[in-house]
Amino acid sequence: MMLDTTNPHNYSYITNDLEIHILGGIKFNNLERMRVTMSIKKIKQHNVLRHSIDLYNDNMVEKFVRKIAERIEIGTSIVRETLQNLTSELEQYRIEELEREKEANQIPIEELSTKEKQAAITFLKSKDLLKKTNELIGKSGVIGEETNRLLMYLIFTSRKTNNPLHCISLGSSGVGKTHLQSKVAELIPDEDKVEITVLSANAFYYFNRTELRNKLILIEDLDGAESVLYPLRELQSKKRITKTVVHKDRKGTTKTIHLTVEGPVSVAGCTTQESVYEDNSNRSFLLYIDESEEQDKKIMHYQRAESAGQVSKHEECIAARFLRDVQRTLHPIAVRNPYAMRLSLPQSVFKPRRTNSHYLQFIEAITFYCQWQRQKKYDKQTGEEYIETTIEDIKAANQLIIEVLLRKSDEITGACRNYLEELKKYLQVNNQTTFTALEIRRRLKVKKTTQWRYHKQLIESYYIKKIRKKKGETIVRYEITNPNEYKELEEAITKALQECIIKINSLSDSDRSGVPTCSTSKMEQTTI
């Protein structure tokens, strides 16, 4: 005798004496019960008994045994033994199916061969690592966006640290925000990321406790995930979320239980609405997509080359696979920045507390990525293993982060800033100082309502002003108050960052070693 589950809606179990069918199968989500609807009859007879029963309820089963024996005229000992064997087989089948489902849902972790691992380590030890990484990202199929793509890759890499970074890609509809995010995300191993299109408000609380730990969470469009933005912010800030729910135990007693999901996580998302997601933006790097004509030309050239069969998809796959191997070769390790006390941000930066934290974390992310080029150190007091930031890491961070700091220092939104900078270029090319709204709408192809929104911001912040109408003139003209304001801001930020490097370079070796990161303990060093 054997349980036959070939038909998922009608299991069969046939012995020498009885023929039993389980109608509708069994449930897999309630393991404390074995509720079934069965039909049972004696072999070579037509008298069928149908009944719903919980096979884990001993009282119900005992009554059912007597009922079967009486109805189809068979001994109770035969019925009892048959039902016990059937219950055991159903139980075993359910356990096996749950295990199979669990394995099917798990993303297999790819093990690197010795040769693949050695190639990745050699790459991570190479000179100009960030430059070579950026070139490989380009070879994997990410067109243009040289700064944004490397920033995003390093932010995604930070998921393996204790203080991951987050990013939001911003830009007009159709400029390639989601494309950039998805292409860079392809360089991250599948087992390290969770991709979300739409998620219910409570879904995050029902992940396993450590299921999201050190994962990259990718949101295709923040507009489709508004219900989960609050728990996401809590995961970003507190690195864990907890929800209390009411639950009934087996005895029917109502109790409260706590659902806890632990981080840390790195979160990335895309949106066109910067101001709507201000709370999330404050916790994230804001990456503004390049909407320039030059970037348009790069993308269209790639599209034509792809259509003509001149793009090697095989080479793109090789580059992407290699960068995934590189990611798998990075191991969690603490990072300490001995120069942190000498670093400061320009006064022009808005919300300096959080921005300063992001700046320091980004430097740590670069150090973490360069871990195979650093000496491994140990703190004798705590035994903690760590690596230290170098001046080269800070210089690389300063070079990459200037645009981010510029945007953080700006009073107007990114889309409005892009409009203003395009407006400046137009006026400079045409040797004009004044303009009309209609003229700029036609030249820059901006919708009237969008332009009205931009002008409202710019007038309130005194970036542009209305010019008094001349006698008999009906059209309103505008003028930019300071065409060089953004360049001056960029120069101020660059100067402030350079001054930090000059201060660090001016320190003597003894001053550098005396920076209070671990000054109370002696260090042991070894090569990583």
Quick: pLDDT tens for 438-454: 889 888 888 888 899 89
Tokens 């760590």 belong to residue:
386
Q: Which long-range contacts (CB under 8 A, 24 or more apart) does 463-468 make?
A: 463/412, 463/420, 464/420, 467/434
Cα 395 to Cα 497: distance, rounded to the nearest angstrom: 9
Tell me: pLDDT of 524 over 50: no
Tell me: pLDDT of 260 over 60: yes
Q: Which of 204, 201, 228, 225 is nearest to 215 (CA)?
A: 204
Q: 254-262 and 240-248 as β-strands: parallel, antiparallel, unpaired?
A: antiparallel
Residue 347 or 522, more confident: 347
Q: Once rounded to an integer, what is the mean pLDDT over residues 362-376?
A: 93
Averaged pLDDT score across all residues of the chain? 84
The one-letter code for the residue type at 178 is T
Give per-residue pLDDT as tens, 104-122: 666 667 788 899 999 999 9
The length of the chain is: 528
Cα 274 to Cα 169: distance, rounded to the nearest angstrom: 9
Give the 3-state secondary structure of residue 177: helix
Q: Could you tell me which residues are beta bridge partners of residue 527?
A: 375
Lowest mean pLDDT among 3-12, 28-37, 147-156: 28-37
Confidence (pLDDT) at 472: 64
Q: 167-170 and 523-527 as β-strands: parallel, antiparallel, unpaired?
A: unpaired
pTM of the predicted model as reported, rounded to 2 decimal places: 0.75
Give per-residue pLDDT as tens, 214-242: 899 888 887 766 777 788 888 888 888 88
Q: Once rounded to an integer, what is the mean pLDDT over residues 69-90?
A: 88
Q: Which of 418, 395, 478, 426 is nearest to 172 (CA)?
A: 418
- Specify which of 53-67, 161-175, 458-472 reaches the highest per-range mean pLDDT: 53-67
pLDDT bin (cut points 50, 70, 90) of residue 515 is very low
- Assign 3-state DSSP to the chain and report helix, strand, coil percentages, each to 5: 50, 20, 30
Q: What sign has the CA pseudo-torsion 224, 225, 227, 229?
A: negative
Confidence (pLDDT) at 520: 31
Confidence (pLDDT) at 521: 36
Give per-residue pLDDT as tens, 328-345: 999 999 999 999 888 888
pLDDT bin (cut points 50, 70, 90) of residue 392 is very high
Q: Which are the contacts of 170, defined by CB distance < 8 A and separation ≥ 6?
A: 177, 270, 271, 272, 274, 286, 287, 288, 289, 414, 415
Confidence (pLDDT) at 511: 53
Q: Could you tell me which residues are beta bridge partners of residue 19?
A: 14, 41
Residue 274 or 270, more confident: 270
Confidence (pLDDT) at 274: 65
Q: Which are the contacts of 198, defined by CB distance < 8 A and separation ≥ 6?
A: 224, 225
Confidence (pLDDT) at 498: 86
Q: Once rounded to an integer, what is the mean pLDDT over residues 39-65?
A: 88
Q: Which are the contacts of 510, defined by CB distance < 8 A and separation ≥ 6?
A: none
Cα 497 to Cα 345: distance, rounded to the nearest angstrom: 7
Distance of CA 257 to the CA centre of its chain: 28
Q: 464-467 and 477-480 as β-strands: parallel, antiparallel, unpaired?
A: antiparallel
Cα 193 to Cα 189: distance, rounded to the nearest angstrom: 7
pLDDT bin (cut points 50, 70, 90) of residue 160 is very high
Residue 200 or 338, more confident: 338
